[in-house]
Amino acid sequence: MSPRTRANGPGADRGWSRLNVRLLQPWMSQDAAGGALPTLYEATAPGAAAGGYCGPGRLFEMKVPPKPAAIGKLARGAALAARLRDVCNARVGVQWPQRDSGAAA
């Protein structure tokens, strides 16, 4: 199997697939600048919330402009966050200080 087939799937270069990509890509994707915008917004916007999450705000959260996004309950769990920190510390050999649970991220 060729690397191209592995990367794109069998038949990815057929006319119908190409037509679908050409029609849907402008609606379902964005350029690199658009992809970076939510990160830049969170890093620089005066109204960005500490510990918040920002993502694309249009078309099922796939397109810019950025907007604050909901963070799931599991992602907000203190116990899971502590476990992730401990595993990361062990893997990279760095000890980051533990934050108070009430402190802003």
pLDDT in tens, 6-32: 556 655 556 777 777 788 887 778 888
Domain boundaries, the chain: 1-29, 31-71, 72-105
| pTM for this predicted structure | 0.51
Instruction: Report d(CA 3, CA 28) in Å as an integer.
Output: 25
pLDDT for residue 72: 84
How do residues 78-93 score in pLDDT, each as one tens digit? 899 889 989 999 999 9
Residue 87 has a pLDDT of: 94
The pLDDT of residue 49 is 83
